[in-house]
Chains A and B, each alone.
Chain A
Amino acid sequence: MDCVVMGGNVKVLAKAIHSLSRIGDELYVEPQEDGLALRSVNSSRSAYACFLFAPLFFSRYTVHSGHTFRCKMAIKSVQAVFRSLASLEKTVEKCHIELDNQNNRLTFTLHCKHGLMKTHNLSFQDSESLQAVFDKDSYANVFRSHPRLLVDTVMHFPPSLEEVTVSVSDERMWVRNHVEEEGDQSKAMLTELCLASDEFDHFAVQAHNSVTFCLKELRGLLVFAESTGLPMSMYFDEPGSPVVLSVTDSVLEGNFVLATLSDDSNHRKKNNSRGAHTPPPPDDFMNDDIDSYLIAMDTSVAPGPSATGPPTPQLADSICSKQTAAASHRTRLHSEEEEEDKTTDSGRPLNKKFCSLFFGSVLPPSPQMSTQPVSSQQVLASDSEDDIQ
C-alpha cells in the first residue's frame, strides 16, 4: 500500500487514531479498494470501531491488487507518530504511509515545514480481518444531531461512569446513568437528562426501547466528532442488539459499535418480584411522585420485543444473545467481573450481561465457545464468506 495524506487531513487521520485508542490497544489496518480501513476492538469484544477513509481523502491512494494486506500493530506506536495534535496542524504538510515489504515495516513519513522530515518505521503483525457484523440501516431507532448535543449531554456524567441507559419515546430521549440493582441504592447518584426530538436533526423512533451500553468507549468518538464538526448518527434496536454511532462525510465514515445489555426475559419470568416494567416517565418532568419515579429508575430494561421471539433474518441482525449463564462467562465486560461470584447457582441465569459483538468471517472461535452448552440461542452463524457491513 502507498498513500499520501495532505494538509488538514493529517490531523483528521491523527484524531481518528486517537479515538480508536480509546477502544482497544491494537490498530487493525486494512487497505481496501474502497478506502483505508482502520479498526479497533476492545479485549472483551464488546466495543468495536472502524474508520473508513475513501480514496478521495488521500492525495494519492494506491492499493496493490491481488494479495490483500492486513496487519495489526500496537496503537501506541502509531499514536507516537502523531503525538502532538497542535503541532501537526502547524508544521505537517503531508503524511506518506507506505508498506515496506522488504523489511516488514509500515512506514509513516511526515513532511514538515522547514524541510524537516520525520520517518517512523513501525513493525506490525499479520492479522485476520476484523469486521463486526451489523446492519445499522435496519435498526428501529435512528437519530442524528450535531455532536455538541451529545457532548453536552455526556458532560453531566462523571468520567468514571461506565454504563448509561438511553430510552426513547416518540418525542423524547432520556439518558441516565445505569446503576447496579445489587449496589447500595442509597449511595448511588442518579442523573437523568431528557432531550426533546426537536433538538435533533433527525429523530425517528419505531420502537420504544431502552438500551444500556458503556459510555467510556463512546467518548473517543465524541471527541472526534466534535472537533471535526460532523453530525453524529445513532442507531439502535432492541436491548441486546448493539448501538451504533457514526459520523460520515464525503470522504470518511466512522462507526462505533457498542454492545448493549441483553433483555433477559427468562429471568424476568422466574423472578416475579421484579414486577412489570413501567414505561419511561411521562413527558411532564415536574412529576413529583417520587415513588413512581424510583420504580421507573429501578428497571434496567424497558419493554422491548421478547428475546425468545422469532429469530430475526440472518442478514439484518446477526448479534447473538446468550441466554445461559454458562455462555455468558465469555461475554462479560471487565467491569462486570465481580459478578462472577454471584453465579453460583448455575441454573439461574445472570440478570445482566453484555453481549459480545458478532464478528464475521475468519476470526477463530473463542475457546470457551465449544465447551459451553448452548440452548435457546439466537446465534446466527453467518457464512464465513459474508462480508456484511
Chain B
Amino acid sequence: MPLSTQSQGDAEQYVLVASLDNARNLSNILKAITFKDHAIFSATPNGLKVTVEDSKCLQANAFIQAEIFQEFTIRDDSVGFQVNLTVLLDCLNIFGGSTVPGVSTALRMCYKGYGYPLTLFLEEGGVVTVCKINTQEPEEPVDFEFCSTNVTNKVILLSESLKEAFSELDMTSEVLQITMSPSQPYFRLSTFGNSGNAHYDYPKDSDMMELFRCTKTQTNRYKMSLLKPSTKALALSCKVSVRTDSRGFLSLQYLVRNDDGQICFVEYFCCPDEEEQ
C-alpha cells in the first residue's frame, strides 16, 4: 500500500499519525457535528475527540477511540489543534464519496505539531491525494461541568422512535421543552408553535425505552435552533441517552455504529433557555 512506505522514514517528525482503511469511519461521524466551520481536535492515547461549539451554549463532541484506527500513534500525552471542519470533510470526500461496495478511500492523517498544517494522505484505486490544511491555535472548549453524579434524570431510548418525533417537530416553535418525571408523562417533548402546541410522550414501560431512571420532575426548555443540528447525530445513531442535571443542562449521547460495526460516540451538551422546575 503506497501510504505505508512513508511511515518508516518520517514517523519521527509527526506527533500524531492516524490511519483508516475506510475514511468514511471518520467522515460520517464528523458530519454529525458539522454545524459550525471550526472544530477543535484533541488527541490522546485513548483516541480522537473532535469538538464543535455554538455561542457557548451548545457543544458537540465526537469520540473515535484509538481501536477504530488501523494505526494510531501519538507522541505526546495530548495533541490539540483547530481546523476548518468543512474543508476537512471536503478533503475526506475528495474522491467523490461514492458508496460502491468494496471501494473505499484510505486515510492517513499526520500532524507535526504546533504551527504545522494537518496533512492528509488519501488513496482510492491507486490514486493518492495529499491535502494540507492549515491549523489554528485550539480554543479551550467550554466546560459544561456536567458530571454524572449531578444527573437527576436519565433515559436511554432507541433512536428509531426519536427520529420520527424529531422529524415532525414543529419548527415554528422557538423552543423544545423536555419534561422528565418519575410519574406521568415520564418523558415528554413539547413544542409551542404558530398553530398550537404539540407533545410527544414516551411512557417508561415502552419497548423503545431501554433505561428509565428519573428521580424528580423536571421541565426545561432549550432553543430549537441549538438542538436542530443534533438530528444529524440522531439519524446516524441506534441509541440515545438523554440526561439532565440539577441545573437543567442537557446531555444527549448518541451511540453510532460505523461501516464496520464499531462503536463511536457523539455527545451534545446544551444550556437551558430558561429554568423551570
Contact = CB atoms under 8 A, between A and B. Distances in A.
A80 B168 contact: yes
A116 B196 contact: no
A116 B161 contact: yes
A118 B201 CA distance: 6
Contacts of A367: none
B145 interface: no
B202 A77 contact: no
B208 interface: yes
Nearest to A124: B196
B201 A91 contact: no
B168 A83 contact: yes
Contacts of A105: 196
Interface centre among B170, B195, B206 (most CB of A within 10 A): B195
Contacts of A91: 164
Contacts of A150: none
A242 B268 CA distance: 58
A121 B201 contact: no
Given A83-B168, A115-B206, A120 B198 contact: yes
Interface string A116-146: 1111111100000000000000000000000
A70 to B, nearest CB: 18
B194 to A, nearest CB: 8
B197 interface: yes
B208 A120 contact: no
A115 B203 CA distance: 6
A99 to B, nearest CB: 13
A114 B207 contact: yes
Interface in B171-202: 194-202
Nearest to B185: A117
Interface string A80-122: 1001100100010000000000000100000000111111111
Interface size class of B (residues with CB under 8 A): 20 to 34
Nearest to B200: A118
A80 B195 contact: yes
Given A80-B168, A84-B167, A84-B168, A118 B198 contact: yes
A380 interface: no
A204 interface: no
B235 to A, nearest CB: 15
Contacts of B194: 77
Nearest to A90: B164
Contacts of B12: none
Nearest to B190: A119
A195 to B, nearest CB: 41
Interface string B199-236: 11111011110000000000000000000000000000
A388 interface: no
A84 B164 CA distance: 9
Contacts of A123: 195-196
Contacts of B164: 84, 87, 91
Contact of A114 (B161, B195, B196, B199): B161
A117 B198 CA distance: 10
Given A114-B161, A114-B207, A121 B167 contact: no
A60 B145 CA distance: 52
Contact of B199 (A80, A84, A118): A118
A281 B205 CA distance: 69
Given A80-B170, A115-B205, A122 B200 contact: no
A76 interface: yes
B198 A121 contact: yes
Contacts of A114: 161, 206-208
Nearest to A119: B199
B211 to A, nearest CB: 15
Interface string B106-129: 000000000000000000000000
A116 B201 contact: yes
B219 to A, nearest CB: 16
Nearest to A77: B195
Given A80-B170, A91-B164, A116-B161, A121 B197 contact: yes
Given A83-B168, A84-B167, A119 B206 contact: no
B181 to A, nearest CB: 15
Nearest to A79: B195
Interface of A: 73-74, 76-77, 80, 83-84, 87, 91, 105, 114-123
19 contacts: A74-B195, A76-B195, A80-B198, A84-B168, A105-B196, A114-B161, A114-B206, A115-B202, A116-B165, A116-B201, A116-B206, A118-B165, A118-B199, A119-B199, A120-B198, A121-B196, A121-B198, A122-B196, A123-B195
Given A114-B206, A118-B200, A121-B197, 20 more contacts: A76-B195, A77-B194, A77-B196, A80-B170, A80-B198, A84-B168, A87-B164, A91-B164, A114-B207, A114-B208, A115-B203, A116-B200, A116-B201, A117-B199, A117-B201, A118-B199, A118-B201, A120-B197, A121-B196, A123-B196
Interface of B: 161, 164-165, 167-168, 170, 194-203, 205-208
